[in-house]
Amino acid sequence: MSIMSICTAISGCYWRSPDLLSNRESKSFLKLKAGSSRRPRRAVVTMSMEAGVGVMGTKLGMMSYFQANGEVVPVTVVGFKEGNIVTQVKTEATDGYSAVQVGYQRVRERKLTKPEMGHLQKAGAISMRHLQEFRLLSVDAFQPNQRLVFDQIFQEGDLVDVSGTTIGKGFQGGIKRHNFKRGLMTHGSKSHRQLGSIGAGTTPGRVYKGKKMPGRMGGTKRKIRKLKIVKIDKDLNVVMIKGAVPGKPGNLLRITPAKIVGKNIPKS
């Protein structure tokens, strides 16, 4: 179909020869003509590579842990519900990249849709609520319905990256959200907790992008890197990680080996 027939098919559009077009219109005409033969772009996988396969856990809370030398260490206690089972192994040949999909937290079958149940039954796994992928360099050591045990992957003293959803704070002002200072509360001041000026008037006559202003605070995905595993308790099926991790008790956590460029992650 020619460009003329396309234009005449559109209501209110008329055809003019390219010689009669203005400079701006001729540039648009050339772009339209050159872009008509372009091939559609293929989707590119941009998922970050993991240093190794990880597991999912549930945050139980924080406590003080006394080490053998008497030192007190603040730790986060992470428990494990039934799950951490491999539900799918993705390879370069079948999916274009190598990854291991892991399921966590067993639920009743009626809580899942039929496509979700079919996906899990294909792997021979139980019904689970959460599914996450771990992109790896090699997936030869994994197979569907394989159970991942924390103490077989990690040891005490290892460094891990822990990611989760932070506690939601709702809509907050500039003082709480961005740690702004407030105005005077006395001496006739009329500005106490207000945001104040957000830009000039005539020039530039707009608000710059990224301006720190009141808005939704918390409830976002956050990763804390290089936290140390202090204690692994097999009897209680919990692990103690030094420091704080995102979220409140009961939240889902993703624990992976810490990324160290040049050691377990290639520099490229």
Q: What is the pLDDT of residues 52-97, one digit of tens each?
A: 899 999 999 999 999 999 999 999 999 999 889 999 999 999 989 9
Distance from C-alpha of 101 to C-alpha of 91, rounded to nearest angstrom: 11
31: left (phi over 0), alpha (psi -120 to 50) or beta: alpha
Judge whether residue 25 has pLDDT over 70: no
101 contacts 148 by C-beta, under 8 angstroms = no
Of the spans 18-32, 35-49, 59-73, 190-204, which averages the highest pLDDT?
59-73
Residue pair 83/103 in contact (Cβ under 8 Å)? The answer is yes
Question: Distance between CA 164 and CA 260 in Å, rounded?
Answer: 20
9 has a pLDDT exceeding 70: no
Question: At the fourth CATH level, which superfamily is domain 55-169+217-257?
Answer: Translation factors (2.40.30.10)
Q: Quick check: 261 and 181 in contact, CB under 8 A?
A: no
Which residue, among 202, 186, 185, has the nearest Cα to 194 in the 3D structure? 185
Amino acid at 145: N
| Total-model pTM | 0.74
- Whether 32 has a pLDDT exceeding 70, the answer reads no
The overall average pLDDT reported for the chain is 84
